Copies of this chain bind each other. A is one copy, B any other.
Amino acid sequence: MVIDLQKVILNLKQNNNIAILAHKNPDGDTIGSSFALMYALSSMGKRSRVLCNDEYPKDLIFAVGVYSEEDFEPEYSEEDFEPEYVVSVDISDSQLLGSDIFNKYANKVDMAIDHHRTHKSFAKEEYIQPTAAATAEIIYEIILSLGVKITKEIANCIYLGISTDTGCFKYSNVTKHTFYVAGELVEAGADTAKINKRIFDTKSRKQVEVESIIANSIKYYFDDKCAVVQIPVDFLETHGATEDDMCNVTNIPRQIDGVEISVVIKEKEDGVCKASVRCDETINAALICQTFGGGGHYAAAGCVIPGNLDTAEKMLIDAIEKRLKEINVI
C-alpha cells in the first residue's frame, strides 16, 4: 500500500527495535540512508540495526562514522536485538535484499522507502519518491519530520547517499531540491570535501595501474564512434588486482570524446562473455543487447554471449553495425 510522509512518521514513532535493510552489494545511497535513519531513531531513544547481506565497502563506510563491525552495535548485541518492525531503504526489488536477508525478511518488510521509478512492491507499505535523486534525499525529509536535529553524523550519511547517487552532482537527476538539501547538510557540518576526496578523487595504486592497461587496449569502430574493451577471465589474477580496482572500468571507453557507444566485454569462467553496452542519447543500448537475449535501459544495457572474447566482440560489433545502419548513423 502506498503511504504518505505522515504515515511514515507515524510508523517510525509507534515502533521500536527497528531493522533497517540495506540492499546487497551496498552502495553509498543504501548505506548512507540506512545509517542516517539508524542515528535518527537512536536519538529518539529507539533501538535499531542496519542489516545488509554483504560487507560494506571500506571506501563508503568511513563516511557514516562506522569503522569496524563492532561499531555497528554500540549498545546491544545481535542476540539481544529482535526486530519488531522492518524497513527497507533504497531497495527497488526484494531480490536485491540478497539471499540471507531475503530468506529471513522478504515477507516481513513493513515499510519500503525508495526513490527508484522501477520499484516492485514487496513491503506492506511503501513510500516511493521517484523525483528524489537519492533515497537519502527522502530520508532527510523523514528525519526533519521526525523532529530530529540533523547532526554532523547524520549530515555525513545523507551527503554520502546524495553525492554517490548523483556522481557528485554531475548527473541529470540533480534537482533544485537536491542542491537545497546539500546546502543544509553543509550547514549541519557535513565533511563534504573529505568525503568527496576519498570517494571521487582517490584510487588505489593498483586501480591506476589496471585502468591504464585497459585504456591502452581500447579498440575503436565506426569512425571512433564505438569503443570496445575486453577483460580476459584471468585479468585480475594476472595483475594482482581485485574487483574494487575495476569499479571504474565502464567509464574508461565511455569518457572518450566522440564515443557514442562504449562496450566492456568480460570473459567468464564458463565459456561465455558478459557485455555491458552504454550509449549516448540517439542509440538504444537495450535494443542492441536484445539481439542476444539481454536487455536493460535505453542508455545502459547488458547481455551474455557464448564464446570467447573475440567471438563475442565480433557478434556485438555486427549487432551494433546493424543498429547504426537502421538509424542511418553509418
Residues of chain A having any CB pair with chain B under 8 Å: 167-172, 174-180, 182-184, 186-187, 192-193, 196-197, 200-205, 208-209, 211-213, 215-216, 218, 220, 224, 251-252, 254-258
Contact = CB atoms under 8 A, between A and B. Distances in A.
Contacts of A255: 201-203, 208
Chain multiplicity (copies): 2
7 contacts: A174-B186, A175-B183, A175-B186, A176-B187, A179-B186, A205-B220, A212-B213
Given A177-B183, A203-B255, A204-B257, 17 more contacts: A170-B193, A170-B197, A170-B200, A175-B183, A180-B180, A180-B183, A183-B183, A201-B251, A201-B254, A202-B256, A203-B257, A204-B256, A205-B256, A208-B218, A211-B212, A212-B212, A212-B213
Give the interface centre of A182, A187, A258 by most chain B CB atoms within 10 Å. Answer: A182
A170 to B, nearest CB: 4
A147 B158 CA distance: 36
Contact of A212 (B201, B215, B220): B215
Given A169-B169, A211-B212, A211-B215, A205 B224 contact: yes
